[in-house]
Structure 1
Amino acid sequence: MKHDLLVIGGGSAGLAAARTAVARGARPLMVTDGPPGGDCTFTGCVPSKTLIEAAARDDDFATGIRRVREAVARIAGTEDETALAGEGIEVLRGRAVFRSPREAEVEGRVLAANRVVIATGSEPRIPPIRGLDDLDYLTTDTVFELDALPRRLAVLGGGAIGCELAQAFARFGAEVTVVEAQERLLPGEDAEASRVLADRFKAEGITVRTGVSAARARQLEGRCRLEFDGGEPVATDRVLVAVGRAPVTAGLGLRAAGVAVEENGAIRTDDHLATTSPPGIYAAGDVTGRSLFTHAAHLMGRIATDNALRKGRRRRFLASSIPRVIFTSPEVAQVGPTEEQAARTDSDARMAYLPMSEVDRAIAAGRTDGFVKIIAARRPWLGTLGGGRVLGATIVGERAGELIHEIALARQTGMFTGRLAQTTHAYPTHAVAVQQAAAQFFTEYGGRRAHLVRSSAD
């Protein structure tokens, strides 16, 4: 059978690419060297969020791991080869290697590759720490294979996944230490959000070491020891490496295809997700190095397929309105720039701030950590009329991951803050906080008015 589109990779981006091809009346062939579903289903979103939920319910670790495996199996069953065949997607197991810009080989089978979407995803990045390879260290891909809870766990990396898993393991009863090379947890997020989470970690007994990097790792009598250039060493039973992810591009034969890669290994793409190869080869998802989120990968897969198959005007991928959520407790959600970023790029932008301690539903629930920050920019010709155009927001608190979508929609549609303030929100909900914060662009609310953004140094 002749295929209209070759999809290399079976994760979120690859599945979206193949399903979009079917929706367009095309015949896709998906090549994957692992089961369809990829990282999100087997080692990422599904297992991590299941474990986090189990820890929040006070399940024991054995129950949590059992729930993880049940959830993975249930979701994987909806996207395996049999399920995809029923959708019109042929799946070929194996690793694809380009032989030329128009040919790829899979286990000795040569495939025509006139239209291709490369969606091979990413893998855990391992830092160059002396002695680390001698440890039986865990990664975000292998941590869910544990059957017993480590008594002590050191987490290398204080980013999103490091913080999520650190808190989950601490709630199961492990003694957890988080080590972050930057000066604060969540270094890419709002500085106040980092402080709120650091305070919560301290209250929950999680040790945080920031501004330090592990220089050496040692295996001593069944225990691990992390040593630093400065400060006391950390003794632990297991080490979890969570310092980020690297694009999977090695061994694909990209040079033969004429596909260029960045210094970090990511495939170089333009805003249409086209590679630098001859026309017809696109890339989507983590392998591009853009927006390393499952929902972003899904969107990229759809856009890449649309552009590969259509004639005429092509769609662009814009990451600016894609929300991101860190599933700690409290949750940290963000869309658009942080206040610090806005202060650097748009000094006329204004910010409204509301602490969760003044939100009735948060008070009723007894979970008042966090805040809402809404940032608005002046509009051409209209200035601050209508409160200005919604630029983004940071929300920290209970269900922040749900609340952020109202702001994402506002940013995507160019909405002005007046629409958020005028829309009646059900009381008492957490979402009322968005309306109350938006009101500050027009009047004093709770003793606060929107003010100019400022950097953390101000």
Structure 2
Amino acid sequence: MSPTGPDVVVVGGGAAGLTAAREVHRRGARALLVEAHALGGDCTFTGCIPSKALLGAAADGASWDEALRRVHRTVAAVAATEDAAALGREGVEVRHGRARLTGPGRLEVDGSAVEAGAIIVATGATPLLPSIPGLDRVDPLTSDTVFDLDARPRSLAVLGGGPVGCELAQACARLGVAVTLVEAEGRLLPAEEPDASAVVAAALAADGVDVRTGSTVTSAAPGRSGGVALELDDGTAVGAERLLVAVGRRPSGAGLGLEELGAEVDARGAVVVDDTMATSVPGIWAAGDVTGRLALTHAAARMAMVAAGNATGGARTRLRPARFDAGQVPWATFTDPEVGRVGLTEAQAAGRGAKVCELPFTELDRAVTAGRTEGFVKLVAGPRRGLGWAGGGRLLGATVVGPTGGDLVHEAALALRTGMFTGRLAQTVHAYPSWSMALQLAAAQLFAEVGGRRARPARS
């Protein structure tokens, strides 16, 4: 710990930085948070908060102008809970400026020297723009700029069929925009179960989105009558008033002085860390999107908790440091229906002797009463070492697709996190008729036939 300055300097005031600074203070150490821009980062201003506000407004049937007003009101409300004044009341000092690391426990903030016992880098990431000829001529929107639109575009081309592209495509379509979604992979949400991708693709199509999967944009140019014209690799063209690029984000680890100190920063700009969130330089940790790991707000917060605990811990922590386990972090895509996932997919678990339990929502009474039968639950379980399939083995992964899939998945996340027998999900009494009964009915297939279904071997 530093005898005079802060115990820990946190560089970056997004989800990871805010969590790290608060956790340092909670542990009784002095935290200094350095941020060049407004506190809150991507999640508050251009990510989770505005996108979910836009999705909610679109689902409520709001107009474009009403939806954007809701977005800006929501962002302002959340930002007020994490500005410098709010953090000051919590005991965290904030300094605005650009930081550069100059040595172990040393950095400069706009030229002023600061010393600390430890440093946590949490500078986040920025939207990635692919190398497409002509892209720089069409003023592409990104997740950082799409919420600045002051008028509804008549048409929008969305490049990227991951969670961000799918969410914004559906929201804009529901707000009256003609949307074309282009994804290079053979299906939307390629990291998810294929069945989940199919449900989301059908939902977007039902909302009027023209979904083009297995298509790559080869060039972009201004349209003859304005807007943008995209050429695809199959020879077809897509025209739109605006283009939104949502193909991922680039970690912002370069240019902070880390390389000069011997810390590894990879070609993407990601700060390389181990599972304790430590860099290769003693006394320097990193957390959040800047590590190039899971680009999720809650994952960033968990990384920050690990980094802060290890940065402020004593000898016992050095012997048994906290570790970040990405396999226990749930994912949620907030389309309608939502996709929630934790742990392994069926294909990932196929070589482990795993079994799969599935329950389509056509067989769930709550879904039938709600008229929302397009979803499903899939549980992936595996044998326990030494115990085999006693108690249903252990949960390896789960996917829930439905109106509240992003919430339902957390029962499975708890089961995976605690290593409980999968059978506990079947033994736990669930209220009838509830959405969560789907997990109980699925898990019961490990022990008996349920509605004509039994657990089956996982397929690759």
- TM-score normalized by the length of structure 2: 0.97
The residue correspondences of 1:15-414 to structure 2 (distance < 5 A) are 15-220=18-223, 221-277=225-281, 279-311=282-314, 312=316, 313-344=320-351, 346=352, 348-414=353-419
- Tell me which residue corresponds to 1:441: 446
Which stretch shifts more, 220-229 or 328-337?
220-229
Q: Give the C-alpha shift of residue 302 in structure 1.
A: 1.1
Shift of 1:231: 3.0
Confirm or deny: 8 A CA contact 2:105 2:119 kept in the other structure.
no
Q: Distance in 1 between matches of 2:267 and 2:456?
A: 40
State the aligned residue count.
Answer: 452
Say which SS state the counterpart of residue 452 (structure 2) adopts. coil
Deviation at 1:17, TM superposition (A): 0.6
Whole-angstrom distance in 2 between the partners of 1:87 and 1:102: 24
Range moving further from structure 2, 328-337 or 218-227 = 218-227
What are the ranges of 5 or more consecutive residues in structure 1 without an aligned counterpart?
none
Q: Distance in 2 between matches of 1:50 and 1:372?
A: 26
Q: CA RMSD in A?
A: 1.0
TM-score (structure 1 length as normaliser): 0.97
Letter in 2 for 1:437: A
Letter in 2 for 1:454: R
Q: Which amino acid aligns with 2:344?
A: P
Identical residues among aligned pairs (%): 54
For each residue in 1:111-166, what CA deviation from the matched residue of structure 2 results, as whole angstroms up to 9, or x when unmatched? 11430000001111000111111112110011011121111100000001000000
Q: Whole-Å Cα distance in 2 between the matches of residues 293 and 212 of structure 1?
A: 26
| 3-state SS, counterpart of residue 395 of structure 1 | strand
For residues 54 and 418 of structure 1, the distance between their equivalents in structure 2, rounded to whole angstroms, comes to 40
CA contact under 8 A between 2:5 and 2:116: conserved in structure 1?
Answer: no
Aligned 8 A contact 2:104 2:283 in 1: no
AA aligned opposite 1:225: A
Deviations 1:293-336 (A, max 9, x none): 10011111111011011122211111111100000011011000
- One-letter amino acid matched to 1:101: P
Q: Offset at 1:86?
A: 0.7
Q: Matched residues in 1 for 2:343 and 2:192: separation?
A: 11
Give the Å deviation of 1:262.
2.0
Structure 1 contact 362–398 (Cα < 8 Å) conserved = no
CA contact (8 A) 2:430 2:436 kept: yes
Alpha-carbon distance between aligned partners in 2 of 1:450 and 1:9, rounded to the nearest angstrom: 47
Given that 1:120 and 1:248 are in contact with CA atoms closer than 8 Å, whether structure 2 keeps it comes out as yes
What CA distance in whole angstroms lies between the structure 2 residues aligned with 1:175 and 1:408? 37
SS of residue in 1 equivalent to 2:279: coil
What is the rounded CA distance, in whole Å, between the counterparts of 1:205 and 1:77 in structure 2?
Answer: 36
* Whole-angstrom CA distance in 2 between matches of 1:123 and 1:423: 43
| Alignment-mate amino acid for residue 247 of structure 1 | P
Contact 2:138 2:227 in 1 (8 A): no
AA in 2 matched with 1:433: A
Tell me the distance in 2 between the aligned counterparts of 1:171 and 1:300.
35
Name stretches of at least 5 consecutive residues in structure 2 with no aligned partner.
Answer: none
Greater shift after overlay, 407-416 or 204-213?
A: 204-213
